[in-house]
Every structure is written in structure tokens, then in C-alpha cells.
Structure 1
Amino acid sequence: MLSQQTIDIIKSTVPVLEVHGTEITSRFYHLLFTNHPELKNVFNQTNQRKGRQPEALANAVYAAAVNIEKLESIIPVVIQIGHKHRSLGVKPEHYPIVGQFLLQAIKDVVNPPEEVIAAWAEAYGVIADAFISVEADMYNKAEEQEGGWKDTRKFKVIKKEKESSVITSFYLQPVDGGKIASYKAGQYISITASIPGEQYTHMRQYSLSDAPGNDYYRISVKKESGTDTTPGGMVSNYLHEQVSVGSELTISAPAGDFTLDESSTKPLVLLSGGVGITPLLSMLNTVINKGIKREVYFFHGALNSETHAFNGYIQDVVKEHSNVKSFIAYSNPTSSDLQSKNYDKEGFITLEDLQNVLSSNVADFYFCGPTPFMKSMYKALGEWKVDPSSIHYEIFGPAESLAE
């Protein structure tokens, strides 16, 4: 329990964090990797270069400071981050290291009085204990469930299937021949990639793109080719170009809190952009496989039919199940698309589209995709006055605000 003096001091630092938060966390990561380069095996270095990870950590530290009197209010965030930490293999021994360099970064950037550093040291200890406790429970549950395991396990690729011009699916089974852990629709696994020529391993999280209940895991990965100014995705390119049937991959047990509420009877609205279709496809298949009686509306935005993965499959589902409907928007349709009119709209999915297809805003909304798509959907649902408890989304990568 924090003392009132500590709480008062932490609250007084909120304006400083608002101004210098990202500078502090950028300095923190520099110190961390300089002194512990082995942790580059855990942290996504692409997100470091893009500044996404420092910004996400700054937001988390700011949220902790703002809610220091009622830390229980950030438990949902602790759980969400805890899932990612467990899938990445973050352990209790990492927290003192993080604390040491976070405090040093605060000193280096704003040089506060010693009592401020002491207060943050005390607060960090309490917050770290919360993470450690939550993650210990997650590790135990991951290991104790049937077919489960605690850290990582070797899987082999039994099938590799091209789903579009940019997305390929990988079907994975354990090398040891044992059972696999079940999961909830919407969850992900982490892959630890040892890429030839790279000094450190690279860990990436990929949504499971099929319903649970099979003897395999399926991930569907977009190849991030990059541009003249931005590098391509190191792991996605490795998977597409160097991993084939028979290759072995090291993965974590399924994790994540972006999961389908199977008990709800409200209409289910799935909104996806690009490769964001993957966790939502798992949700769709779960509803179909379990015979859950509810209306399902699957909205998807893509460049065109060439990049649109799983379209044929979803259209077959729509034909076979009267409770499932789809809406497709292509922002850059091909000449063939323009001739065949195999989509519902040219452009992007908007609030008007949702209102034209759905009878009301009383539904469960799940959405995932590129950040601009996510922000657009979040804004549209807000404008439509959708109940916030009915809005669920997954951001690929470090957490960021969708509010504009």
C-alpha cells in the first residue's frame, strides 16, 4: 500500500510525464539495451526504431501516475500487457532491471529531487508486483491446461498455403507429437525466429486464424515488403521466404484478451482491414462450428481482390449460413474487380455503411486492422453512440490511443 506522501508526489509528476514521457522512455530503452543487449531478444526492435514502443510505455507510465490512488482501475491494462509479457517470456527477474533504468531515465531527463525518485521507486515496486502476480497466474494456467506448456515449444510447419498476393497461412503441429492447448477465438501466439545472419532472435505475435478444436494452430501472415523509406517486416519476410513445410518454429502458448464473448446473443459485427481479418476469422469459425445462434455481419476492407484473403471461404459461409452476411470495400479495385463488381463499395468502410447494413447500434463490435482503419472504426462507433462495453478491438503491436 502506498503512503499518502508517495501518492501526492506521484500525482505532482503528471504534468512532467505529459510533456517528457516519450523522452523519458526513449532514454530508458537506450539505457536498457546498452546495459542488457540480450533483452533485444525479447523486444521488437522495429517498434523501437519507429518510436511506437517508447510511446506505448510512456502512455502506460502516465496512466499509472494518473490513477495512482486507484491502481485497481488499471488492472485491465495490466492483464492485457500481462498476456503479451507471458507470450514473450517476461519473468520476475526482468522487473528490477526495468525499474533501475526507468528511474535512471527519469533522473537523466528531468533531474527531479531525490524524494520524487524515491516515490517512483516505491510506486514502481507496487506496480511491478501487480504485473508479476498476474503473469505468474498466466504462466501456471498456460502450463496446467491439457496440452499446455509454460515457456516455448517446438512446432513444425505441416502446411503452407497462399491466401492472397500478400498473405500466407502456416499450419503448425508440435514436434513432440503431443496434444496442443486450446485457446479462445481472437488469441495469438508468439513466434521466436532465429533468422540467419541476425545476432538476436526476433519475437512476433500472430493471431490464430482458425477456430479452436483442431490438432493444429494456423497463423496467416502478411508479408511486409517495405518501401524505399521504411524497412520490410523482418520476421514476416523470413516466414514467407525461408520457412517451408517441415520447418520448425519455436512458439509460446496462446495468449491475449481480445476474445469472443460466446455467451452474448446480440448481433456480432466483425470489422476488419487487411490482415486484421485473422482474429475475426477465428471468431466467425467459432460461431459456425459451435452452431451459436446469432446474426453475424462481416465487414472487410482491402485494396482489392488480389490482396483480399479468405474471401472465397467467407462467401461460401454466407451461402451456407443464413445468419451470416458480408460487406466488402475495396479502396483500389483492379480492372477485373471493376468489371465483375465482386465487392459492395469502392472506398473505405464508413459509419454510413454500418448504418445501412445494421438495423441498430445494439450489437457486439469487434475490429482489427491498420491503425488508420482502427481509428476510423473507433470514431464511427463513438459517433453512433455504441455502448462502450460492446466495443472490442485488437491493435497489432504496442498499445496506442485510437482517440483523435
Structure 2
Amino acid sequence: MENYVVALSVSKPKLENINGKDLKTSIVREPLYHPVYFDQTGPVGNKPADHIEDVFVYSENHYDYWCEVFNIERSSWKHAHWGENITLNHACEETLRIGDIVRIGNEAVLQVTFPRIPCFKLSWRLGQAVSVLSDIIDSGRIGFYMNVIEPGIIEPNDAFTVIKSNPQHPTVAGISRMLQSSDTSIGQMLEVKSLPDLTPWGLTWINKKIHTIEELSLLKEYRWLGWRSFTINNIVAETHDIYSFYLSPSDIQAVPAFRPGQHLAVRLQVENEVIERRWSLSEYCPDKMQYRISIKKVDNGLGSSWMHAAKEGVQVEIKAPSGDFYLDNTDIMPIVLISGGIGVTPMLAMLQAHLLKDKNTRAPIYWIQCVLNKDNHPFRDDVLAKVEELGVHIHFVYSGPTENETIGHDYHSCGLLSVDKLMSILKTENIKFNGKTIAIPPAFFSFYLCGPKPMQQALYSGLKEKGVEKVFFEEFVSALAMNNADNTLDVATVTYKNAKKQLSWHLEDDVSLLELAEFYDLKPQYQCRSGQCHRCKVKVLKGKVRHTLSVEGVGENEVLLCCGVPDSSQLIIDV
């Protein structure tokens, strides 16, 4: 079928109330049915809110398909409803290939660069739950981006003609599915990465997928279930009441990697009582054969007091690293790490992991640390050294500085960290993509919080009120432990039906249904691993489940594998 242009659109970012927050977006626009000039940056007068490719293209026949799926009156969707600059008459994601050169009309020549990566703004625009995004990706009806090679006028009824194509290159829909599938191999992604026509934006997503595959492989290697004996082989005093403990496996076997921000569950024999505590891993050194935890001695705290009294050579039992609070080390947006007191420990691992990345490609990062004063400021010298060497934005907030400490020299501000103070510290960051500089305001930064509960709650609420979407926080204890506090279910038999696997799940292993499957080499689909994207949603065929995170849009007989655990002794799920 001949492809041709049906409509065009031009838009600039404006504030829209999206899911209760005022956010800038260019997705809301009106269709145009007259000629539009496309220069080297796309349609003249157009300005994307947060993507960097020149032109987004979508197909009219996709409108018909999705209106039927969503039970929406077709006439309620004008052209450009999906935020596209060019509306075509017919779909071509299954045949168009990355790098294809296309002539549109008599003048303009454009190149296919990458599939659309849909976000929550699209689901909002469609009036659907965010879980539909995985369905859109699976369908292949996603749209694609193009860059302008030769400027020119484009108008309705102009032919959309492929003038150069490489049959060895993957299709637009094929790339999209590879990015989402858990079956994609490193080899496949490296082959895609070698494409000569891949833009920096596309390369960013390819690298993100490669990192995810490599990380999962590292996390699985040497991982164990249950308890394992470790020896305290070094103790370092960071402050008068915070000690760091270096732990090595007593069996002298290898230890698995972990995600920066995760914690260790530690079991101690305190007098006649066995107690379990969770302490964050405070050092990220993937090549080391040991773990480090840093513990503040708490008045009347059994676990922290026992550890502070322990000597080198003492053995403790720990579980493999776990936890849902960790840095997304593939994030291309600026990162803000905010800690209060001993909440600095997971942040330190995050900072170290981030700074291991290539300086030319890693995102800007802010380190905001709230403590009482200099005497109670753990890891101060470590952080300052990284600032001088690697260029981190830092801000120390002292709530009770001594008379010998001066603002501007020992610390940057005093009092408590409010949201208004926080926003005054941050600045719009300019990030270069594709030869363009994109201004990223703080509302699009990724925020990580760890500290006293009142501090976390105030900052979380305040940031959400200001339209920040990505705010993550640590509860100091694992979500699984909290949600199972009154649960007597210690063990369950889980059947992954289509995979023909029957596995034993144990409460003390502290693993989700996704992690259990991965431990036994199953590969369920997933993406975010945080209960947001719904990519890992499956049907519950028998039994009950519970979620360790707050989730939305999940039916009574459904479960998100990434944060779901059994709530009955027998569970059958459709994986």
C-alpha cells in the first residue's frame, strides 16, 4: 500500500495537569492540513518537551486499532492525538528499518532513527492506565522518530517513499521488541549498537539494555539462597558512633554483585536471642570479594551495640544482597542523592557506582547530605575527594553547626532541608544529545531519599507537589519484611505453568516471584522491576499473592512478578 501524509502538527511545551501534577508536555496539539517547512531541526516552530529527535511519525490506521481496543469513539481522536508531527495513512513499523532514507513530497528527505519509547504522558493522553504501555510496545504500533537530512516543504497527500534501505538492519518494531524482551541477548544488542546510522538517543537506549542484561548476569552469578557465614575482617571508625565493617565469606568462595543502594540481612546471636537486622551496603566495588556495611550505634539497640562491640575475626550470618531501593545506573537524567544521618550509607554506594561510568556519558549528579555538624559527618573526606576529582555537585546541610564551623567553608547551609531550599540548590542542567543541547529542569531529575522518616515524608510530598515524577526512598527495613510482619506463611510451592517449573519459595530468602524465577534460569518479561511499568504482570491461576510495593491497576487474579510474593501455600501463575 502506498504511504502518504494525512496531517502535520507543530507544538511547543505547555503545562498540563497530568495525573494530578502540572508538567510540561508537547503531546497536546492540533493537526495542520497545510504545508509546513521542515528544516534541519524538524518542523519550523516545533519544540519537544523532553525528547530530542527531530520528527515523530505515527499512522492513522493505528488510531482505528486502538480506538477499538480501548472502546473509544474514533471521532474523539483528531490527527496528532498521539503527539506526532507527521500522520501517515498506513502503518510501516514492521517494514521500515533503522537508517532507512525516505523522501516525503518533492523536497524533504528524512532518515528513520529509532522507535518511540512510550512514557506515562502517552497513557495519560490516551486516558488509559500506565500498564497499557507494555501492550502498545508488544503490538508494534508504536510510531518512530526521524531526523531531517534535506530540508523542504511537506504537506498533506505527499508521498512517503523509501529511497534507500539496508535489509540487514532491524525493523522499527523489531528494535522495540528487543529492548523490552527478557530473551534478548548481549550479542543481539551489540549487533544493533554497531549500526552506523544509530543516533546518540538510540545508542542511549541500546546501552541501557546492554547494561541491564550484563547486570542481571552478574547478580545471578555466585548468588545463594538462605543464610551464609561471613567473617568480619576489618573495622573502621567513620565517626565516634558510626563504624564500617568489612565482611568476607567464611568459605572463601566468591560473592555476587549487587545493585547500588541494596542492603544485607544480618543474623546475630545476641546472648540467648537470635535477631535479624538489615543494613545498607555502603561501598560499591564490584571486583572486591567482600561487602561493607556501615552501622550507627543506637541507644538500646541490640544489633548495633553487638556489632560495635564485635572484634575482627567474629562470624555473622547474612543473606545475599536484596532490596527494591537502588540506583538506576542507566538513567540519562540528572540524579539527586539526598541523605540524612546514617541514611548516607546506600547513597555512598550509589555515588561510587555512578562515578564508575564514563565521565563523557554519565548524567550530572548532586550530593546533598544533612547531618548535625562536622563531628557527626560520616564519609565527608571521601565525598570531597570525589568532588574535586570527578566534579560532583555537593551541598552539606548542618542542622546544629558548632561555633567553630563556618558556612561556606565547613558546610553550605544550616537548619533543616525544605523542598524550597532543595529546589534553590538545583539548577537546570544542559545535556547534549545528537549534537543538540537540551535544557533539563529539576522536575525531570531522578531523586533518591534516605534518612529519618519525617524528612523523607516532607521531601517526598513536596517534590510530588512540584510535579517531580521520579522520587525513590528507602524505608530502612525491607518492604518484604514490613509487609509480611503478620504473615505466618514461611514456604510455598510456586508453579510457573507455561514454563513447566515448580519451585519452592521461602519467606526467609527474601525474594520476589521474578527473582525466584531468575534464580532457576527462567526469563519472565520485565522492565522497571519497581511495580510501575506492569511489564511483568501475569494471571494468577490458583492461590493468592501479595505485593511488597504499593501498586495500581492490578486485578484480583493478577500479580506483578517483580514485587509479588505468595500468600498461599500453593500458587500457580501463568508464566
**How far apart, in 1, do the equivalents of 2:311 and 2:218 lie?**
28
1 or 2, which has the higher helix percentage? 1
* Partner residue, 2:446: 364
* SS, match of residue 391 in structure 1: strand
Partner residue of 1:239 out of 280, 304, 307: 307
Deviations 1:36-61 (A, max 9, x none): xxxxxxxxxxxxxxxxxxxxxxxxxx
Deviations 1:98-123 (A, max 9, x none): xxxxxxxxxxxxxxxxxxxxxxxxxx
Contact 2:219–2:258 (8 Å) recurs in 1: no
Q: In structure 2, what residue type is equivalent to 1:393?
A: F
**How far apart, in 1, do the equivalents of 2:418 and 2:294 lie?**
26
Contact 1:188–1:205 (8 Å) recurs in 2: yes
* Partner residue, 1:149: 224
Contact 1:300–1:329 (8 Å) recurs in 2: yes
Q: CA deviation at 1:338?
A: 4.0
TM-score when normalising by structure 1: 0.59
Q: Map residues 159-238 of structure 1 onto 2, 5 A cutoff.
A: 159-196=234-271, 199-213=272-286, 214-225=288-299, 232-238=300-306
**How far apart, in 2, do the equivalents of 1:327 and 1:379 lie?**
21
Q: Map residues 251-330 of structure 1 onto 2, 5 A cutoff.
A: 251-291=318-358, 293-322=362-391, 324-330=392-398
More displaced, 165-174 or 291-300? 291-300
CA 1:158 to 1:385, structure 2 compared with 1: closer, same or farther past 3 Å? Answer: same
Deviations 1:353-382 (A, max 9, x none): 222221222100001111111112112212
Contact 1:193–1:201 (8 Å) recurs in 2: yes
Does residue 470 of structure 2 align to residue 395 of structure 1?
no
Q: In structure 2, what residue type is equivalent to 1:278?
A: T
Q: CA deviation at 1:397?
A: 3.1
Q: Percent of pairs identical after alignment? A: 32
Alignment length (residue pairs): 250
* Partner residue, 1:332: 400
Contact 1:272–1:367 (8 Å) recurs in 2: yes
> RCO (CA 8 Å, sep 6+): is it higher in 1 or 2?
1
* SS, match of residue 353 in structure 1: helix
Contact 2:278–2:478 (8 Å) recurs in 1: no
* SS, match of residue 247 in structure 2: strand
Residue segments in structure 1 that go unaligned for 5+ positions in a row: 1-72, 74-140, 226-231
1 or 2, which has the higher strand percentage? 2
**How far apart, in 1, do the equivalents of 2:464 and 2:407 lie?**
36
* SS, match of residue 307 in structure 2: helix
Q: CA deviation at 1:307?
A: 1.2
CA 1:144 to 1:258, structure 2 compared with 1: closer, same or farther past 3 Å? Answer: closer
* SS, match of residue 396 in structure 1: coil
Instruction: Please provide the CA RMSD for this pair.
Output: 2.3
CA 1:144 to 1:312, structure 2 compared with 1: closer, same or farther past 3 Å? Answer: closer
**How far apart, in 2, do the equivalents of 1:335 and 1:376 lie?**
28
Contact 1:154–1:249 (8 Å) recurs in 2: yes
Q: CA deviation at 1:336?
A: 2.4
**How far apart, in 2, do the equivalents of 1:336 and 1:300 lie?**
20
Q: In structure 2, what residue type is equivalent to 1:179?
A: A
Residue segments in structure 2 that go unaligned for 5+ positions in a row: 1-130, 132-215, 428-441, 484-575
Q: CA deviation at 1:345?
A: 0.9
Q: CA deviation at 1:383?
A: 2.7
Contact 2:261–2:350 (8 Å) recurs in 1: yes
* SS, match of residue 164 in structure 1: coil
**How far apart, in 2, do the equivalents of 1:157 and 1:244 lie?**
8
Q: CA deviation at 1:306?
A: 1.1
* SS, match of residue 323 in structure 2: coil
Q: CA deviation at 1:181?
A: 1.1
Contact 2:373–2:399 (8 Å) recurs in 1: yes
Q: CA deviation at 1:339?
A: 7.9
**How far apart, in 2, do the equivalents of 1:249 and 1:215 lie?**
16
